[in-house]
Amino acid sequence: MSRLNPAISRPAVSGIEANKVLKNTYMLLAATLLFSGLTAGLSMAFGWPHPGMILTLVGYFGLLFLTTRFRNSALGLLCVFALTGFMGLTLGPIIGYYVTAIPNGDQLVMTAMGGTGVIFLGLSGYALTSRKDFSFLGGILMAGILVAFLAGIGAAVFSIPALSLAVSAMFILLMSGMILWQTSEIVHGGETNYIMATVTLYVSIYNLFLSLLQLLGIFGGDE
């Protein structure tokens, strides 16, 4: 871990500044989630196909790079909506598949959405009210996400259902940890850029929803 003593390494950020970052983060997060839902709905309505794993990764990392590059300017906001809108487009065909191809698929989707919302609100609320410092999770989460990401690619390429199931379970735990970590970073001044905080929370919610949906699909009749 690079930060052995968070109390020393953290910049001095007042409570007012932290609350401002928190407020701006949640406002932007709500807007991006709505926009992502809109693009997902459009993708489903027009029957657009999923772009595939390679194009999805290229689009995601490319837009993430631009968002990071312009995070301190108004252009960064445009990049955030481009990133989340693109991710919504990739989500639409997945939701469409569950709704049309799996028995009670619409209920599975709604359950995954509800579960994602409960987990996000619960973990965020805990981090905000307890004000515990979860900065120690940073290195652990980054290592875990890298392992899970590579395992997920392996599961997709070699079509290993058991590994895919394990990856989904891992991502649920990892994304839950990311929500705790990012919220704590905002509260304690470790993250002062609301654009980047929004991206982290959005990606956590996105992956949490997909992982819950996959698990529910498996145990709900997706063979």
> Rounded distance, CA 204 to CA 174, Å?
8
**What pLDDT score does 223 carry?**
44
Residue 181: its H or E element: helix 161-187
Cα separations in angstroms, 128 against 31, 40, 67, 186, 208? 21, 30, 26, 9, 20
Predicted TM-score (pTM) above 0.85: yes
Mean pLDDT computed over 54-61: 95
pLDDT at 76 over 50: yes
Cα separations in angstroms, 61 against 12, 55, 67, 90? 31, 10, 10, 14
Provide, rounded to the nearest whole percent, the portion of the chain with pLDDT above 70. Answer: 92
Q: For residue 14, what pLDDT band results from cuts at 50, 70 and 90? A: low
Distance linking the first and last C-alpha atoms of the chain: 41
H-helix segments, 5-52: 6-9, 15-45
For residue 209, the one-letter residue type is F
Mean pLDDT computed over 158-187: 93
Mean pLDDT of the chain: 90
Q: Sort residue 103 into left (φ over 0), alpha (ψ -120 to 50) or beta.
A: beta
pLDDT tens digits, 105-146: 899 999 999 999 999 999 999 999 999 999 999 999 999 999
> Rounded distance, CA 145 to CA 176, Å?
12
pLDDT at 3 over 60: no
pLDDT at 166 over 90: yes
